[in-house]
Structures are given as C-alpha cells and as structure tokens.
Structure 1
Amino acid sequence: MIDRRAFIKGLAVSAAAFCALPLNRVWAYPLPPGHQRLIVLFLRGGLDGLYAIAPVDDPLLASRRPTLSTTVHDQGIRLAGTGFAAHPSCAGLATLFAAGELSFAPCAGSTDTSRSHFQAQDLFELGTGNIHGPSGFMARAATALGGAGSAISFTQEVPLSFQGLNVPPAVAPLSGSGLKLPQGKLLDAIRQAHAGLTTGEALEQAIATETAIESTVGMDVTAARGAPAVNGFPGLAQHMGRLLVSQPQLGLVFFDLGGFDTHVSQDGILSRSLENFSTGLLALKDALGTEEWRRTRVAVMTEFGRTVRENGTKGTDHGHGGLALLAGGAVRGGRQLGGFNGLDDASLNQNRDLPVEVDWRDLLSSAMRDAYGFDKAALNRIFPGRPGKNW
C-alpha cells in the first residue's frame, strides 16, 4: 500500500529507504484489455445541487430561495434542452456539458432518510442499502476486476468503500497530514536525490499541496471525515491526472473532497467551493490528456442534497435527493438523467426536499457496465438490492 506517512518518514531517513517502497509491485497488474477507467469522486458534506445546477425555468425557484437563486437567475449558464442553468461558479461544468462530456441527475441519491452525514456516507460507501456490512462497493468491484491491482484510492487511508478486500488497494494520499516535510538543506538534498525519478514527482506533489491544503479555513470540516478541502482540488486534480497517465492500468479510482456542509452564509462559501470543484474537473481533464480522458468516466456523488427552501441564516439544511454528475470523454453527455417534477409542495419529499428519482447504485452500475463490461449478475453482486434501472 502507498502510505504517505511511510513516504515522508522514508524521505527523512534516506532516499534509498523511500525508493524501497513497493510502488511498482502494487501497480504492476494490468487492467484487462478493453476496459476503461472509472473515477468515483465523493463530495462529503451534502452538496446543495440546486445551487450548483438550478431549475431556472421553475417559477417557484425565486420564492423558495430568495437569496440563493439570485445569481443563477441573473448570470446562470443555460444547459440546453433541460430547463436548468449552471451557477456561474460552475462554468467548467457547463463547458463539459456543452461538449457532450457531462450529464447530470438533479434528483439522485440513496435510500437513507436519516439526514445524518455519517450514516448516509456509510450507506453510500457500502453500496448495499445498509449502514453495516463486511465490504464496500469499490472492494466488490475490484474483486470483479480480478483483485486490487487495478484499484487505487487517493485518500489518507483505505476508505470504507474499499474495505473488505483480501489485499487492500494502493493508497496514495494527495493532501497533507500531521507530518511535515523536512526543510532547508535536508529537503534540498532529498529533492536532488529524487530528481528525474518517479518518486521525484510524488515529492514535488507533497511540497506543492502541503501549505494549500492545511491552511484552508472557514469551513466546518466535521462531515468531511478527513477528506481534503475542495479549495485545493485544482492542484490535486493535476497531480492525480499525471499519476494516472503514468499508470494506465489503474482503472478503478476513489477520491473524496470536503467542504459542502453549508448551513450558514452559503452564497459566498459555496460559490468559491464550486469554482474550485469545477476548475478541478477541467484540470483533471487537462492532466489526463486527450487519450486518457477519452477512456475515463468520473462519477460525482454526495451523501444527500439540501433543503429546497433556504433557511433563516441564508444557508440550507440536510435534505434527501441531490445532484449527481457523470463526466468524462467516455460518457454520453449533454443530457439530464432522471426526472424533475418541480418545486411545488406536492412534488417534494416531506414538503422540504427533492425526492430521489435516480438511485446511486443504478447510476454507478451503469458506469461500471459501460467501463468494464460487467454483466447483470456481477452488478447485482456489487450492488445487491439495486432497483436495476439502466442509465
């Protein structure tokens, strides 16, 4: 397993010790011929999808969100043929949509009704409709691909979605930790020792992201569960893309971001977060390059959406149905996935939230079917109890 603590410790001790880490052994397994890549990007905190991609043709939007809908009504970027517009901070998403490289589901989600970040996140990562179980859905997908050799998680540790494998996937943290890189002449010597080597890029990555990630302030990070803040995503996406280009056999990828729990003063906070998220997706596309992007799918999901009505502190509270995205050069984009029945009370879940029209298991099943050629039986093993609708 690629472990950042071991990485930095090895740097501090000696370059030779670091070079002995089993990177090549872990990453030596090829992805089966013809298979593509799926990146699952999980946004922890409950993204307000109605803010990011808003139903501007719905006459009730302004009254439901007198503060939060103003900018998208005035400056939103229309998504042709849908009745929705992307918030101007999501210009990158609109660009991908127009290019046929992004589709969106405005009412996606899971069966969870608790409105608890942690229960909803666990239910998502397990992928069974339960909050307890022996394995996560990424682990079962890796097993269907023949083991952990094609899998990688860009997280601090093995996430719940990948737990349950006999051999854990590679783990390559892209964000900072409590350990600090050495400074001064020692760092200069280490950089020189790794110059021109594969390990040198990992070192430069750590140096570039340490300050940016650890200095992020102003957000309640409890729901993030240690995931890096979205403010650093453009830089992290570039590093992730370059690493995946160098390791094309890595076809099953997990990454998470925090910074979406916006109960108070949402407009300024979330617009900055979404700009970084949207810019980061474009940075990932750019880093992957044309050929790798063409074989890539990015599934973007969150544990739940937010309330339709803004609250008294100009934010939103925990909801039910929310936004999911499928992006990449391998997707059939430029379309809306699933229905949207409007913002009137009769169409809402419990008179407050969007309903779930697209089950997250079916969305991921369709992505895995198209990326890996999994049949129905394999998909049912990965996502037992899924409704079975194809997207």
Structure 2
Amino acid sequence: MPSRRRFLQWSASGLAVHAFNAFAIERAPQAPGRLIVVFLRGGFDGLFALSPVSDPRLSELRPSLSKTVLSQGTALGSTGFSAHPSAKALADLFASRELAFSPCAGTTDTSRSHFQAQDLFELGSGATHGESGFMARAAQALSANSNAISFTREVPLCFQGGVRPPEIAPLSGSGLKLPEGRLLEAIRWAHRGQRTGDALDQAIATEEQIQSAMGMEPQAARGAPGANGLGRTAGTMGRILRGNPRLALAFLDAGGVDTHANEEGALSRVMASIGEGLVELKTSLGDTEWRRTRVVMMSEFGRTVRENGTSGTDHGHGGLFLLAGGAIAGGRMIGDFRGLGDHALNDDRDLPVLADWRALLAACLRDACGIPDSALNAIFPGRPQQNFAL
C-alpha cells in the first residue's frame, strides 16, 4: 500500500511544477521593497523559541520547558534572552543583525479563540468582521498591478476584498495538508475502491494520530501546511520572488504550533525548520533581493507563561514577533519586556501585548514599500500611535 508520504508527494508534485513554471523570470518594474508575512496558525510559544533566561522565574514557571535553553541556549546580545538550540539559525541571524524580535507583540483580542484572533490579525482593522484584509488594502495603496502573491491554496482573508486578488502559488512538500470538509469528501468518493483511496484513508488516519499524540488541535491550522515543512519550501518561494521583483507583498501561513502537550519535541522540530527556511529564503533571494526584503513572522497569540501538567502550554495573549531581512535594524529587541513577575503578566498567566501588531506591520510597510502614514491609517484604521524603527 502506498505510504502517507508517497500519497502527499503524488498530490503535491503537480502544484510544485505549476507554481514554478507560472512565475518565470521577468523584466517588469521593481517595487521599492518587499514585505513577506509568515503567519503561524495555532498560537506559537515564543517563550520557548527565545527565552528570557535572565529572569529568575523562568525555571520556576517552566521547570521542564526551560531546561534545554538554560543549559544550551545561545545568548541574544544583552537582551537577557537566549535562543533555544533548535533556533540556532535565528541566533545566527540576530548576531549578523539580520533579525530582531519583540517578545510581547500581538492583537487586541483577549478571547483566546484561534479563529477570532486569526481573523482579527488578517483583517487588521481591530474588528473580527470586515470587507477587506490588511494586505488587500496595502496592495491597493501601492497602486501597481500584480504586486502581490499568496503562497497558499486559496486567497487568504488578509488578501480578500481587494480591487485585484493576489496571484496564487501554493507551495508543495511533505508538509502539504490534506483538504477538509466537502472537498475532502469529494476526493475520497472519487478514489473509493481504488488503491489511491486506501492510501488516502491511511493518510487521514495517520495525520489524526500525529495531531492527537502532539496534543494539538488540527482545526487551528485552518488547512495550512505544517511549519515543519518551511525548510523545504522556502527555496521555491525565494526563487519565485527573486525572478519577479515587482511582487512587493507576499503571504504564507503554516500550522502545527498548537502545543498543549509534549512541547519540547514538537517545537524543536518546528524551530529547526523555521530557521532552515529563513536561511534558505535568504540564500535563494540573493544578496540584492534579501536587502530589499523584510520578513515578518508572528502568530495569532502566544502561550501561557506557566507550563501545564503535560509539558505543554495553553492559549495565551502576548506573543513573539520576528523580523528578518538584509537591511533591517537587527540584533536587538523591539519594544518592551517587563519580566515574568505576577504584576507584569496579563490575567496572572500570559505575557501582555506591549507592541500592537498594526503598529509593527505599519512600520514594516512604511520602511519596505514606502507607504505614507496617510495610507497606513486606512490600511490599519484605529492603529495605536506606537512608532517603531524597523
């Protein structure tokens, strides 16, 4: 019987060829700069990746999850934070001033609902319902045709409602997720009674077992591929963008970070792939394109500061914001961090949001693409007046 990996490779191979062939090297006008948004669906635990090792409460609140970083982590300058060994690539980018981070970033949502917080992020208006997403409004502000691309299977909410939809180039790899709902049922019916149908049933069962063992909620990913596949897909993304300098805005989402249990093993693999993906993206873009590119990575919310009884964490509030690129003001922490004391936490359990996502993204769009404040106010209505130099 074909393996789950083989079945996903069969499904993905056509997408890979189509995406790469559809975006040949072109000679269209180059945009001023580029913003790539990588959205980690599921609530990523930034305190695991980059930990405040100088805070004495870290080992008390995270007795198992802090052991490795306290003994083997890489110090991030004088910030008081260290990178987990699996995030060594992030530490290297930080050391070369090509990466900066904000430990207490996020949205205004306090529901701890994946879906509400994700919608709030993608709409960018401070509301959970709206007619357009923030990247659609940003594309319109750039006043250029075909300036946006989404490395997803469908137009994501952040790009919906625009005058012109983004180009779509789904990335492939063994991290490709199976579809859900009516589409999945139609595919199963089409393969019923065939060898490929048996392989599909096996793939579904294996995927469910993996998610259950990791203590994750697969629904939180909303069909996005696993973040542990970023190391394999980032090169394709970089080559497409390098060959198409007009593409000023790009979006990619990934799941598999909702770690309610056994977090050390699951996130170690994810972090290694994220770091590998950023390095591969930098390499495939080349020096010139890397210098005009800013890569933002964040999640809908962070996790609880205290680990739970199953060596995992639960839904929190403030989370990690990563910014990478060849011309950023890297090698530093963005915004504030007030420690892990009870008085500094949100609801006595989470990191607070000290850097609003709209202000951070607005600064990236201003610095990368030259969008003026008047347009940024329309892209992010109601954004707080936090000024960041990124």
* Structures share fold, TM-score greater than 0.5: yes
The answer on whether the counterparts of 1:148 and 1:168 sit within 8 Å (CA) in structure 2 is no
CA distance in 2, matches of 1:307, 1:178: 29
Q: CA deviation at 1:251?
A: 1.2
Q: CA deviation at 1:331?
A: 1.0
Q: Deviation per CA, 1:298-346, whole angstroms, max 9, x where unpaired?
A: 0111000000000011100000000001101021100101111111111
Q: Deviation per CA, 1:85-110, whole angstroms, max 9, x where unpaired?
A: 00010001000000000000000000
CA distance in 1, matches of 2:257, 2:117: 14
| Residues 265 and 23 of structure 1, relative CA distance in 2, 3 Å threshold | closer
The residue aligned with 1:376 is 373
- Counterparts of residues 142-157 of structure 1 (less than 5 Å): 142-157=139-154
Greater displacement, 94-103 / 220-229: 220-229
The residue aligned with 1:30 is 29
The residue aligned with 1:355 is 352
CA distance in 1, matches of 2:265, 2:178: 29
Is 1:388 the counterpart of 2:385? The answer is yes
CA distance in 2, matches of 1:340, 1:311: 23
Q: Deviation per CA, 1:221-245, whole angstroms, max 9, x where unpaired?
A: 2111111111211110011011111
The residue aligned with 1:218 is 210
CA distance in 2, matches of 1:286, 1:300: 18
Residue 269 of structure 1 aligns with an amino acid whose one-letter code is: A
| Residues 90 and 23 of structure 1, relative CA distance in 2, 3 Å threshold | closer
Q: Deviation per CA, 1:86-139, whole angstroms, max 9, x where unpaired?
A: 001000100000000000000000000010000000000000010000000000
1:346 to 343, 346, 351: 343
Structure 2 unmatched ranges of 5 or more? 1-10, 180-202
Is 1:294 the counterpart of 2:291? The answer is yes
The answer on whether the counterparts of 1:31 and 1:150 sit within 8 Å (CA) in structure 2 is no
The answer on whether the counterparts of 1:233 and 1:277 sit within 8 Å (CA) in structure 2 is yes
1:76 to 66, 73, 78: 73
The residue aligned with 1:332 is 329
Q: Secondary structure at the match of 2:36?
A: strand
The residue aligned with 1:240 is 237
The residue aligned with 2:125 is 128
CA distance in 1, matches of 2:366, 2:164: 24
Q: Secondary structure at the match of 2:343?
A: helix
CA distance in 1, matches of 2:97, 2:150: 27
The residue aligned with 1:41 is 38
The answer on whether the counterparts of 2:34 and 2:248 sit within 8 Å (CA) in structure 1 is yes
The answer on whether the counterparts of 1:29 and 1:150 sit within 8 Å (CA) in structure 2 is no
The residue aligned with 2:191 is none
Q: CA deviation at 1:374?
A: 1.4
CA distance in 2, matches of 1:355, 1:159: 27
The answer on whether the counterparts of 2:308 and 2:314 sit within 8 Å (CA) in structure 1 is yes
CA distance in 1, matches of 2:87, 2:125: 32
CA distance in 2, matches of 1:375, 1:292: 22
Q: Normalising by structure 2, report the TM-score.
A: 0.83
Percent identity of paired positions between Structure 1 and Structure 2: 57
1:263 to 260, 265, 270: 260
Q: CA deviation at 1:280?
A: 0.9
Q: Deviation per CA, 1:270-301, whole angstroms, max 9, x where unpaired?
A: 11111111111111111111111111100111
CA distance in 2, matches of 1:246, 1:343: 45
Q: Secondary structure at the match of 2:210?
A: coil
Structure 1 unmatched ranges of 5 or more? 12-17, 180-212
Q: CA deviation at 1:29?
A: 5.8
CA distance in 2, matches of 1:330, 1:258: 28
CA distance in 2, matches of 1:367, 1:106: 17
Residue 59 of structure 1 aligns with an amino acid whose one-letter code is: P
The residue aligned with 1:249 is 246
Q: Secondary structure at the match of 1:149?
A: coil
CA distance in 1, matches of 2:157, 2:65: 34
CA distance in 1, matches of 2:22, 2:370: 30
Residue 319 of structure 1 aligns with an amino acid whose one-letter code is: G
Q: CA deviation at 1:37?
A: 0.8
- Counterparts of residues 90-109 of structure 1 (less than 5 Å): 90-109=87-106
2:137 to 129, 136, 140: 140
Q: Secondary structure at the match of 2:247?
A: coil
Corresponding residue pairs, total: 344
Q: CA deviation at 1:177?
A: 6.5
Q: Secondary structure at the match of 1:218?
A: helix
Residue 50 of structure 1 aligns with an amino acid whose one-letter code is: L
CA distance in 2, matches of 1:306, 1:109: 11
The answer on whether the counterparts of 1:137 and 1:383 sit within 8 Å (CA) in structure 2 is yes
CA distance in 2, matches of 1:268, 1:97: 24
The answer on whether the counterparts of 2:28 and 2:245 sit within 8 Å (CA) in structure 1 is no
CA distance in 1, matches of 2:374, 2:247: 24
CA distance in 2, matches of 1:224, 1:355: 23
Q: Deviation per CA, 1:132-174, whole angstroms, max 9, x where unpaired?
A: 0000000000000115511000001000000011221101000
| Residues 129 and 8 of structure 1, relative CA distance in 2, 3 Å threshold | same
The answer on whether the counterparts of 1:150 and 1:251 sit within 8 Å (CA) in structure 2 is yes
The answer on whether the counterparts of 1:297 and 1:367 sit within 8 Å (CA) in structure 2 is yes
Residue 158 of structure 1 aligns with an amino acid whose one-letter code is: V
Is 1:231 the counterpart of 2:191? The answer is no
